[in-house]
Chain A
């Protein structure tokens, strides 16, 4: 597997992993910008409006027919949030039955990106209003997945003064303000100035992909490329939030800041606490105490924040919170067995190495790597994890600080307002 990563045009970097192992080929285009509520709503809405139609394929039916004719090639809008940066663009996957799939896919992608269906020189009002309604509905529907909603809310509360807490869909208020004219204005500036990462994995070489991608960008006027500001998040301290909803299972999320320079030791600590079936949360809080069905911990590299979570019986909220915090405190006090370290390392290493068995995992890995400015390959990252010593783990866990406790529950709020846990 060969990887080449180069800037092919001003502000446009192309990463190509040439591999013949897969039937599927994948190409993604990600434009990037610093996030705010306004930017998030625009960046989420924009690719969805572009995907509605082009000059040549003016509606979804025409586009869908063209894609089906290319053996079901998919060109899907995608917006992702990484800390205070957001990306917006398309991810495509296709099989190459007739030998010209790259050319045809990039051509159609270029049409969608740079030759959208316009009415009187701006986006179609119908398309923008339809997608705006869908976006607002999607924001409203975030409560349908209770644990994801709990994560959205704790993010808002933990990073209340900064862009780190902005939801990737933005807000209903910001979405309401978007018109066909304002979105078109945003689009022109965005595709002209936003830095862009392009990823390809599949049967084509760097030169072949660079040729097609350069042709695609020929129709786009690139201006002065914007720089992404580097900021650090401000964490709330000692905050407790309890929200009531008609739910039969409560969702507890405990958020912590992690003052660390390398993400892998912090990820390893997170894995020891709640990374899998040998983690402290799974073996003790779920298996021994039967306090929950789902529990775990996750580390957000861009925010440098660790979250422990549990889906619990609302009547057990107190006990569950203490049980989750007890597992964290055990780590702080060095109560981590060699076996726990070894099992967590092996799980992480396995996860990193298998990244290379999936084109979509590689796409996500390398986009994150580009944004983190961390060019370690999955194998190199796995080697780094293998070399983490116990002392580093103990030092890292002591760099974690309690920020916010969030509880989504169905019981009376009064019953769950408890005294603040002592801040570590």
Chain B
């Protein structure tokens, strides 16, 4: 068990790596009534091709998300969600492109709930019948998200940005792809990825770290499973489409501008690249940027404007999104701004951005869910989240300039728009 302390941060982290490869991270939160635990699996929607018994296996799209639904199911016909309810705890789960996570928070019987979490995630119960039933429920979920312009614009952006990397595909899959999922598919993927060496357990609260470690070591399998090679393909530098438009009933067009670059996202270098990308997104299009304030000032965009960096194995993507009647003008403004910033970023402006970024990270310490999520993400990329606060201080304005210059080129940038021609013509 190791105690990690960080300069200038009133938060420590206790960590331990078990013999089976599971990394456990505990953030002590004295005085908090609620404790929170997240068991995360380094398996997301992009993990569709991998070695299985010496051969390459490709699963249908949407298996990671499908598994997330099914793992709650119990052999007695019940659901793990109901077991948590006996103590009033709030359980939930989510699937992303690179991670599936199961979590709960509660004010009492934390260790009991932790044991439930560790047990149900590692005791799958899949039958032909319950797989078929889930296809109906997930079919409804697909309909629900497809009615959201914000979801559609993101899905279209990713499929335009990437042509080979499975980041291009929907997290949830399609009605057709989930129709191909069988009990056998679920077991193949589950047995490959739901192993301690491919998981992390992150906890925040007024809890005893040694008890957390002891519970994990007694419930989870003891052997260390070797993980398979995953295949994400050879993504070309250029985007698959420079422009993508879909018509939906939305009064104001919704847009997302995306750009991608092959870059390390794991290890020390990966951590630094991630922090640089986050700062660059703020410098270019954050709330204090000239880009946003001028586009907002002249009414081109609304306050529903966001910039963020996204990280996948071997690739970083940046997205600027919002609502605008003139999405192409926004893209032109982005190119112009990047051109200016490539020549140099004003140092005092950059120092303010760094201060704001650090302030946001300090505030994230109060949000146990996002703290554990960030740490799980960091563990899978081979670093600790709280180390990023120190890295911020090391980065200078020139690094941001160089990053933006490398990132925003016409051939690796795409614009996705959801418009309603009937309304806006």
Where the two chains meet, the residues of A that have a C-beta atom closer than 8 Å to any C-beta of B are 21-24, 48, 59-61, 64-65, 67-73, 93-95, 97, 130, 133-134, 137-138, 140-141, 143-146, 245-249, 276-278, 283, 286-287, 290, 292-294, 311-313, 342-343, 345-351, 353-354, 356-359
Contact = CB atoms under 8 A, between A and B. Distances in A.
B352 A249 contact: no
B366 A247 contact: no
B355 A72 contact: yes
A199 to B, nearest CB: 16
Nearest to B364: A23
13 contacts: A23-B365, A61-B288, A67-B288, A70-B355, A71-B355, A71-B359, A71-B362, A73-B359, A134-B302, A144-B148, A278-B81, A343-B86, A357-B32
Contacts of A140: 251-252
Determine which residue in B86, B105, B144, B323 has the highest number of CB atoms from chain A within 10 A of its CB, and name it: B144
A60 B293 contact: yes
Given A72-B355, A137-B251, 19 more contacts: A67-B288, A71-B358, A72-B356, A72-B357, A134-B299, A144-B254, A145-B148, A146-B147, A248-B147, A290-B136, A290-B137, A290-B140, A293-B140, A293-B143, A293-B144, A313-B143, A346-B86, A350-B90, A358-B367
Interface in B162-208: none
B82 A294 contact: no
B150 A144 contact: yes
A351 B90 contact: yes
B31 A292 contact: no
A303 to B, nearest CB: 25
A72 B360 contact: yes
A317 to B, nearest CB: 13
A354 B133 contact: no
Contacts of A73: 359
Interface in B288-340: 288, 290, 293, 296-297, 299, 302-303, 323
B219 interface: no
A293 B137 contact: yes
Contact of B141 (A95, A293, A348, A354): A293
A276 B84 CA distance: 11
B85 A138 contact: no
B10 A354 contact: no
Interface of B: 10, 29-34, 79, 81-82, 84-91, 105-108, 133, 136-138, 140-141, 143-144, 146-150, 248-252, 254, 287-288, 290, 293, 296-297, 299, 302-303, 323, 349, 352-353, 355-360, 362-363, 365-368
Given A23-B363, A59-B293, A346-B85, A311 B356 contact: no
A312 B140 contact: yes
Contacts of A68: 288, 352-353, 355-356
B33 A353 contact: yes
Contacts of B79: 277, 287
B87 to A, nearest CB: 6
B323 A141 contact: yes
Contacts of B34: 353-354, 357
Given A72-B360, A144-B148, A293-B141, A133 B366 contact: no
Contact of B137 (A94, A138, A286): A286
B292 to A, nearest CB: 8
Which 3 pairs across A and B sit closest by C-beta, in order of nearness?
Answer: A346-B88, A71-B359, A72-B356
A245 B89 CA distance: 38
Nearest to B8: A97
Contacts of B299: 130, 133-134
Nearest to A20: B31
Contacts of A22: 366
Contacts of A293: 137-138, 140-141, 143-144
Determine which residue in B89, B108, B254, B287 has the highest number of CB atoms from chain A within 10 A of its CB, and name it: B287
Contacts of A351: 90
A61 B293 contact: yes
B296 A247 contact: no
A68 B351 CA distance: 9
B120 to A, nearest CB: 13
A22 B364 CA distance: 10
A94 B137 CA distance: 42
Contact of A24 (B81, B108, B357, B363): B363
A71 B353 CA distance: 9
Contacts of A97: 359, 362
Given A24-B363, A356-B33, A141 B140 contact: no
Contacts of B368: 357
Contacts of A345: 88
Given A59-B297, A290-B133, A347-B88, A137 B302 contact: yes
B148 A350 contact: no
A134 B322 CA distance: 12
Determine which residue in B90, B146, B248, B353 has the highest number of CB atoms from chain A within 10 A of its CB, and name it: B90
Contact of A23 (B90, B149, B150, B366): B366
A134 B296 CA distance: 10
A324 to B, nearest CB: 15
Contacts of B250: 141, 143-144
B144 A246 contact: no
B85 A95 contact: no
Nearest to A283: B82
B275 to A, nearest CB: 15
B31 A347 contact: no
Contacts of A138: 302
A204 to B, nearest CB: 16
Contacts of A277: 79, 81-82, 84-85, 91
Contacts of A70: 355, 359
A247 B145 CA distance: 11
A175 to B, nearest CB: 14
Given A130-B297, A347-B85, A65 B352 contact: yes
B85 to A, nearest CB: 4
B182 to A, nearest CB: 18
B323 A95 contact: no
Contacts of B357: 72
Contacts of A342: 86
A128 to B, nearest CB: 12
A37 B82 CA distance: 43
B143 A21 contact: no
Nearest to A139: B251
Contacts of B359: 70-73, 94-95, 97
Contact of B362 (A64, A95, A294): A95
Given A71-B358, A71-B359, A137 B146 contact: no
Contacts of A67: 287-288, 356
A71 B249 CA distance: 40
Contacts of A350: 87-90, 106-108
A276 B355 CA distance: 40
